Each structure stands twice: as structure tokens, then as C-alpha cells.
Amino acid sequence: MTGGYVNIIFILLKAHQEIKAVILDTQKVIESIGDKLNSVSYEVLIPNMDKITNLVINHFKKEEQEIIPLLQQMYNPKVEIAQYVKDEHMYIEKELDYLLSSLSSLRHISMDVNSNTVSRLQGVFEEMMVHFFEEENGLYPLVQGYITSTKEKTP
């Protein structure tokens, strides 16, 4: 069973890399456009945001199916760390949904996106990068250590 969890962590790390790559591409698009997004930029931005949203939702779902139960085994199920991860997931998902919906709506009425929306996009990308950093350097090593120690205790 421990091999399965090691594989899950590898899959989650690989998903981080894929999501980060799309985020970086999207940030380059935003930087090249400046503060105002026009109809041409929507053609690139909306598919990228849709891809990020789908990748993130699938990634979070896998974490919540595999990692959250482990955290609950490691600690009391009511301990804050599992809920903290879930809360961050929920916040990021809601923000991505809102931004994707906003961009789609603005595109349909041919409006430019103002600097507040651009700033909000950049903010959620930064939040996601911090989230991934915390998982890669804190949560996943913690889980890996637990898996290793459990394996060593098993005869």
C-alpha cells in the first residue's frame, strides 16, 4: 500500500508542474497585453483559464481522496491541517470559477477587462504557487515521512 501512496505523491507533483506551466504561459499573455484585455486576448486567456480550472479541480479532488484521509490518520480527524487544505482548495476553486465566468461574460459583451480583474488573476496565480510550494515542501514530505514510518513498523 505504501508504494501506492508514493505513486500518488509523484502524480500530484507532476500535476503541480503541469498547472504551473499553464499559469506561467497565462501570466506571459497577461504581461504582453498590459492592463486591458481585448477580444484577441480572450481567445488565449479563456482557454488557458479553463484548462487551469479543470487541472486544479482534478488535482484537488485527488488530494482530497488520497492525502486528506492520510492526514486524518496521522492526526485527530478534527485537527486543523486537513481542514486548512480543504479550505484553501475551496477558496482557489471559487476564485478560478469566478474569474473564468467573469472573463467569459465580458467577452460576450465585448468589454475590456479592467486592471482589477487582471490584478485578481495575478493574485490567484500567486496564491496557487504559494499553495503548491507549501504542499511540495511541507505537506508531501510530512505525508511521505508518515508512510515511511508506518512501513517500517509493519512486520
Q: Which residues pair with 37 in a beta bridge?
A: 113
What pLDDT does 14 receive?
97
Q: What is the pLDDT of residues 8-64, one digit of tens each?
A: 899 999 999 999 999 999 998 888 776 565 655 777 888 999 999 999 999 999 999
What pLDDT does 44 receive?
80
pLDDT band at 80 (very low <50, low <70, confident <90, very high): confident
- Position 70 pLDDT exceeds 50: yes
Q: Output 76 or 17, whichever has higher pLDDT.
A: 17
Least confident of 6-10, 62-66, 94-98: 6-10
DSSP 139: I
Q: Alpha-carbon distance 30 to 113, whole Å?
A: 11
What pTM was computed for the model?
0.85
pLDDT band at 119 (very low <50, low <70, confident <90, very high): confident
Alpha helices in 34-154 (DSSP H): 39-74, 80-108, 115-134, 140-153
Q: What is the pLDDT of residues 123-154, one digit of tens each?
A: 999 999 999 999 999 999 998 888 888 776 66
What pLDDT does 40 receive?
59
Q: Alpha-carbon distance 102 to 124, whole Å?
A: 14
